[in-house]
A and B are shown apart, each in its own frame.
Chain A
Amino acid sequence: MTLEEILAARPSPGQPRAYNFPPFERTVMPSGLQVLAVHVPGRPLVSANLIFLSGAADEPADLAGATVLTARAMTEGTDRYPGLELIEAAERLGSTLHADASWDAFAASVEVAASRLRAALELLDELVERPTFPAEEVARLRDERLNDLLQMRAEPRRRVEQAFSQAIYTPESPYSRLAGGDESTVERLTRDELTAVHRALLSPERAALVVGGDLTGLDVPRLAEEVLGSLARDGSGALGTSAGSKSPLAGRIPVADAAVDRPIVRLYDRPGSVQSEVRIGHVGLRRHVPDFHAVQVMAAILGGLFNSRLQLNLREEKGYTYGVGAGFDMRRGAGPFGVRTAVQTAVTVPAISEALKELNRMRDTLVTDAELAVARDYLVGVFPLRFETPGAVVGAIGGLFVNGLPDDELARYRGQVEAVTAQDVRKAAQDHIHPDRLAIVLVGDADVVGKDLEAAGFGELEVIHDELPGEVDEPGAPQGDEEGE
């Protein structure tokens, strides 16, 4: 055969190898702590993730940022390991201790050789049970956060995210804020607030330890009981919300995710910008939605796949942008739905028009069979790739715990995606994309794009002139703006 004949014939796939999401075992400790262990054969590095169901969304407004700051301060020393000794002890195990808080949860995690799992768990236990929150380190971390807020204002990509959250949520919603807090609250945080946050989150009944890797010869529940069995029982749950609830979701007060339900067109002026950072969207969905899989397929076709409708239009046809995406950030409460892109300044208005067209088209017409097939086949086919490492498997199981999802959610995932029809996709778009209350938020050059934006008829334009970073000597001066990390 000639090369031409060989290349002219497209190969067809072989027989797929069976794949199942690794099954995990659940043990509930006497303290109420759940231990979820997943054996991933042949993986000598073990991931361990200790999760507490208290996150930034549970904070009262005047403590915004306290949970994230608490997490960051927890690695700053414990009773037994003052100062950097905790970090150093972990490094001797070849591990880095991570502690961080999201909207929904606090998590401390470590990756370590299976043979050193006990020692690593002991450090995790130190970190969560006995942090000392030295006042001077808390002050330093607080100042670092304030400095980071200054940096954020100078970065169009971060600035626009903050502005977008502020546009789509009412001020009462925690999601209108930054998970890490802003100047108005962070400045006030001291070790007293952090100690209180820590006491509240430390409830074993609202906690899970997820461990994954090659667990041959390891009795994870027993290790967990021996190392973490003493986890204090006096945690009251999230600050000011669902104190003492037994199961992760039962009795929990839903976070306020109230939406601003009018169209907004808001431009943050950044003179000289060669691109406009653009966000278009509104409040989206919580993770608990009955049509989750249809939404996933719809979002892939709209703005998730490399060849999504938005990408084909704005990038591959028009060349307006290096990339454009769209999707739902699903949290325990309704996270944002948004189109995200950065476009050359001169084409800002046409790029927004095209994006709006694609949002409407998603609702108005059925996706083609080919579009549906690519999206479904991608989500189903890429599933084993997503879970190649124990870290990814542990992360996914942690997500089930945080969102209160059934144990077989991941095992059923591919079948449910395969069952999605074109009608389901259109219904998901009609139910969850709302062109009548879109916020269009930009960071760009108002001199160049302002007039066109006003004339475009997207809605009444608000132009906001940020204080330019540049002459700032001390953090804390700018008035509080919000973000949505």
Chain B
Amino acid sequence: MTAPTVRFTDERLANGLRLIIAEDHLAPVVAVCIWYAVGSKNEVPGKTGFAHLFEHVMFQGSRHVAKTEHMGLVQAAGGTLNGTTWLDRTNYFETMPSHQLELALWLEADRMATLLDALNQENLDNQRDVVKNEKRSSYDNRPYGQWFHKLQEQLFPPEHPYHHPTIGSMEDLDAASLEDVAAFFRTYYAPNNAVLAIAGDADPAQARAWVERYFGEIAANPRIPPLGDVSLPPTLGAESREVIEDRVPLPRHYFGFRAPCFGDPRLEALEVACQILAGGKGSRLYRRLVRDERIAQDVAFFALGFVGGASIAAGQATVRPGVDPEVVERAFEEELERLGREPVTADELARARALIETFELEALQRVEERADRLAMLATLLDDPDLINRQLERYLAVTPAEIQAVAAEVFRPENRVVLTYVPAAGAARGQDEESAA
């Protein structure tokens, strides 16, 4: 089985907007995905959560689009849509029946050009409340809910932009003003800070003409502030540990490591290692901790790629009742460290490769995923063509490369270990905010 090649064009408008079009007519659907090179890493102290709050404001209307109308128009056209914010970027996407492509492009252009015309205190206050409820329901009111924020806090020093959570703090969200929102928009939401990818059932000439028409006259911002030096030592330097009491019935360990940046072939080797470690029932951690020794209820291990100094490799194991959490931690760490000491077997690697091949093919079937990946690779690596080399790069990873990256990453002095334990009879949890 070979992966179908994603053919695409890659160009820049005069105002700097990067346009990628990947034509394919298998299904009568087309995806539009726009990546802005701004994420929570661009936030400054006192203004955390801002990139994400801003993403919400982007759905509150622009000069020619009323509040909530963006969603309404896309859905009435039979489309689906959303936006997401992460450390390195913010993205917005619409998947449309192909005859509705122009509508999606117009909507994205109108808010890139005229968002501030519709911005008002009422909408900002409303979305601030919505985002605070998102924080409550996704993190604060959930057992184990703060684990990723705690990993960020301990894997990255306070002055590093990955130190704080993308969702931000309640205080900073409360402090966000209309002026902040306007300044953020003027700074980062410029065509020269964006990549627009279109994938699926589109006529490239027509799509290009529409993009020129709607986006071509939007002014660039020549003064987008550079991020500054975000480089980091490759390892943490000393192990960081924390025990957290929470309203949980079972203890759970979370593990975090600094890992090579997104785009570094060593991260790809690490991703193959993750598959061998925890990718399903045939994996090492599952087999040993869950199936054979029966000390863990579940296990996971994965890599999250970032470009700003380091990625995160992270995992978890939920401790079975009656088992000493230390036993689980030791077994988990032994398996990670064993990867650095001895090569994986030929059969393990063959199974991992076969599964990764299927995952890639499965993902790339969908126009939304193709558009998202093209925009991601252009934004973060300036290399959209990696979409066509990614699978062969995974398949070329050798046992020696896996061993080398595991030995580099899975070191005690590069490790954060969070241990959640049931709160001793505590009625009140550690939720950080009572009802305001």
Which of A's residues lie within 8 Å of B, judged by CB? 2-3, 6-8, 10-11, 13-19, 41-45, 75, 84, 87-88, 91-96, 111-116, 137, 140, 143-144, 147-148, 150-151, 153-157, 270-275, 305-307, 312, 315-322, 342-347, 373-374, 377-378, 380-385, 388-389, 391, 448, 468-475
Contacts and interface: CB of A to CB of B under 8 A. Distances in A.
Nearest to B213: A6
Contacts of A317: 126
Given A11-B102, A91-B280, A345 B113 contact: no
Interface stretch (B36-44, B158-166, B378-386, B427-435): B427-435
Interface in B27-51: 27-29
Interface string B214-236: 10011000000000000000000
B358 A154 contact: no
B123 to A, nearest CB: 9
Nearest to A113: B1
B68 interface: yes
B282 A91 contact: yes
Contact of A344 (B105, B127, B128, B136): B136
Interface residues of B, number: 98
B71 A373 contact: no
Contact of B106 (A7, A111, A156): A7
A395 to B, nearest CB: 14
Contacts of A94: 1, 354-355, 357-358
Contacts of B201: 17
Given A380-B78, A385-B79, A92 B321 contact: no
B10 interface: no
Contacts of A474: 321-322
Task: Indicate the member of B75, B81, B142 with the most A CB atoms within 10 Å.
Answer: B75
A147 B423 CA distance: 17
Nearest to B351: A91
Contacts of A273: 141, 431
A471 B261 CA distance: 41
A6 B112 CA distance: 14
B66 to A, nearest CB: 11
Interface in B274-322: 280-282, 287, 290-291, 294, 297-298, 318, 320-322
B72 interface: yes
A345 B429 CA distance: 15
Q: Which 4 A-B pairs have the closest CB atoms?
A: A381-B78, A319-B129, A469-B249, A346-B435
Contacts, number: 276
A377 B99 contact: no
A312 B249 contact: no
Contacts of B366: 388-389
B132 interface: yes
A23 B137 CA distance: 42
B82 to A, nearest CB: 9
Contacts of A382: 75, 78-80, 97
B247 A469 contact: yes
A385 B97 contact: yes
B371 to A, nearest CB: 13
Contact of A322 (B71, B72, B98, B133): B133
B350 A8 contact: no
A111 B428 CA distance: 46
Contacts of A92: 347, 350-351, 354
Given A6-B217, A7-B214, A468-B427, A275 B133 contact: yes
